[in-house]
Amino acid sequence: MNILLGSCGGLTGIYLAKQYKNKHYVAGFDKNENNAGKYFLNNFFTVPGVNEKHFIDSIIEIINKLKIDVYIPLHSHEIAIVSEYKEELEKYLTGKILICDTKIITLFDNKFNIYKEINKIGLKCPRIIENETMIDKYPLLLKPIISSGSRGIIKIKDIKEYNFFSSYPNHFICDYYDLDEYTVDCFFSNTHVLIGYYIRKRIKNIGGAVIITEAAMEIDISKELKLIEDNYSLTGPVNFQFFYHNGEIIFFDFNLRFASGGIPLSVHAGLNIPELLLNESVGIPYSKNIQINLSKITMYRYFEELFN
């Protein structure tokens, strides 16, 4: 199978290239030529940025040149743009592009709106502080309405800081939780059915990407995931981050893509999302009975150097 990885220069691109390359031809592209991902590919291309004029045309050119079967966009901004051209791009591919549609992406990318939306279906998120009378404790958090990972988040320590940040443009303020953080990696079929999930505790991360993570399958999140499955048409790899305390699950981040950093643990434990994605994309039958290793596994990520 011929696979194309978009935005392949990051951790996820490198991991997927290494996963796929033993059995498949793997090409990738990125707007930045200076990245480590290209050294794990059969072919690498530089393309315009996602917001530039010829971005989609460049992808089509690569697909046609290499006879690509499956295209996997990896970065949030790339996925948002590609969702608008999904049907056009699929004309040149063997398989489906397994990403959510534009309406779902727009909803989940807006943290202010998705916090309110999730509350409506009975799930808990940090409480949005819309005025001073709602404050019952400090610290609070200032969060960008649209962001990726932990970028732009500021801790508000007192009323003076609240007054300063309360009118900050394109941000909102919510409750702060000093609790352990967890990620649930999920895979949804092209018909929006949840095929499998795996829960991990985020022990240590750098720039939002986890470098130490451990299994946390003792947490029962099945009811919450069923509510999400029933209310939103999700497709492909997605991950949700949440706090867990005294049996309560508090969602705080929603990513409609592969998780950055921790996905190898989920794959190692039996939720092989890269393989599920290929099979689902091209219509290869596969077992929906995912066998998960429930042992307390810990993953440690380390750095490795390349020289050119």
What values do phi and psi take at 234, rounded to 5? -90, 150
pLDDT tens-digit readout, 111-157: 999 999 999 999 999 999 999 999 999 999 999 999 766 678 999 99
Q: What is the pLDDT of residue 170?
A: 95
Residue 97 and residue 80: Cα distance in Å, rounded? 12
Closest by CA to 238, choosing from 203, 267, 263, is 263
pLDDT tens-digit readout, 70-117: 999 999 999 999 999 999 999 999 999 999 999 999 999 999 999 999
Closest by CA to 232, choosing from 193, 186, 286, 279, is 193
Q: What is the pLDDT of residue 118?
A: 95
- Tell me the domains of the chain and their CATH numbers: 2-97 (3.40.50.20), 127-175 (no CATH), 179-300 (3.30.470.20)
* Residues in Cβ contact with 18 at an 8 Å cutoff, skipping those fewer than 6 apart: 40
Q: What is the pLDDT of residue 177?
A: 96
Closest by CA to 107, choosing from 269, 277, 256, is 256
What is the value of pTM for the model shown?
0.95
Distances (CA, A) of 34 to 11, 15, 18, 44: 14, 17, 18, 11
Q: What is the pLDDT of residue 207?
A: 79
* Residues in Cβ contact with 71 at an 8 Å cutoff, skipping those fewer than 6 apart: 3, 4, 6, 59, 63, 89, 93, 95, 97
